[in-house]
Amino acid sequence: MSTESAIHTLGDTFKLVAGTDEVGRGPLAGDVVAAAVILDPKNQILGLNDSKKLSHKQRLECFKAIVESSCCYAIGRASVAEIEQINILQASLLAMRRAVAALTPQPDFVYVDGNRCPEWGYPSQAVVKGDSLIPSISAASIVAKVSRDQEMLELDAQYPGYGFASHMGYPTPAHLAALESLGPTPIHRRTFAPVARVLKLASDLGAL
């Protein structure tokens, strides 16, 4: 039995099976965004895969198909303030918990991308690299990625000069340079090391 078929067996006895995944653990700015999807077994969506393995065009095509053909989908998030308060791992689990809780109808079983499940009452299974193995997790990763990218495009217009539209908040050299020259915005995660360093430097200079 292959790894994929073995994993699928866990949810086969349940009628409504959801997948959930998050996007945005690594960026220095913006919320962490999760999605949950219950696929319709009668409407197969071709091309589902880990969102990172798809081109921008492929992600948008899959996103459109998921919106139109899935049984249901929902988005959850944890804010920058929550990330700073409870740490990024717990914030990611919180975002996934919120996404699954927002599904209508509610799932009987949930596949979770990664190596741990949120604390909840759903029968569930954490699957490492599940976004490449489980179609419902793949769908969730696509919905989360497209949704968060769109938010970062809007934030790019709100906070020009940081390049959010190109790096989506990740710590690229261009982002780090902008952070040092312009300082952090309200959407930057102050507990993340590169942002904390800039804040400390500004504080030290102010004390001179």
Burial class (CB in 10 A: 0-12, 13-18, 19+), 88: buried
Contact 195, 189 (CB under 8 A): yes
pLDDT of 108 above 80: yes
Cα–Cα dist 61/59, whole Å = 5
- Band of the pLDDT at 206, cuts 50, 70, 90? low
pTM recorded for the entire structure? 0.92
Give me the torsion for CA of 31, 78, 52, 164, rounded to 10°. Answer: 0
Share of the chain above pLDDT 90, in %: 89
Q: What's the pLDDT tens digit per position in 153-205?
A: 999 999 999 999 999 999 999 999 999 999 999 999 999 999 999 999 877 76
Domain residue spans in the chain? 3-157, 160-207
Cα–Cα dist 173/138, whole Å = 29
Superfamily of domain 3-157: Ribonuclease H-like superfamily/Ribonuclease H (3.30.420.10)
